Amino acid sequence: MKSKSCLVCSVAACILAAATSSSSTARAQSKPKEAEKPRSGDGVRVGVLGGVGFPRPLAVEGVVVIDRLVLLGGEYSALPTTTIESVQTSLWAIAADARVFPFRNGFFVGVRAGQQHLDQSATVTVTGVGTFSGSQSADTTFINPRMGFLWRWSVLAVGIDAGVQVPLSASTASNLPPGVSAPPAATAVMQTLSQQTLPTIDLLRVGLVF
């Protein structure tokens, strides 16, 4: 009787151990499934950025940020009317903008593409003839590859970047009296800003992204 009782106890213990092991295995197998759930992204956010830089010192940009991976924007930038070598010069541009954040942190590579307009006006005195007013303008289609950083803390965004503005095409127009040519300094400034490859620097970008 004792041996039968011991046998029954042994069998019961084995069944209990097997059931416990099976339950533990089932729980262990269910945990990875929970851990394998995809991580939710940052979603789609919108915001506005303002900046200072070169060649157009003032800029404002509306942006859409997708999962901290892609930023798409539309930008207006300008150089307010400035006197350069006695010539009144102003500059503005509109551009589409795209940035890609390969590591989903602050670092990005990006490109702008847009249209720039330059205006110049001056009063020219010709000895023995008189004083004349004239103006000239230039329109440039450009592309601007660049890289930099745009960090975000909650809704605050701060950034800096650098690149090159490459003119794809340029056209000029002038309104000068017959026989009067633009001052050489004005012509040099126009050619530099509208027809040559220029470095671009955003010294500071700051804004809000919600």
| Chain mean pLDDT for the chain | 85
Give the pLDDT score at 41.
63
As a whole number of angstroms, the distance between CA 192 and CA 198 comes to 8
Q: Does residue 136 register a pLDDT over 70?
A: yes
pLDDT bin (cut points 50, 70, 90) of residue 196 is very high
Per DSSP, the residues of 79-103 read EEEEEETTEEEEEEEEEEEEEE-TT
Give the pLDDT score at 177.
78
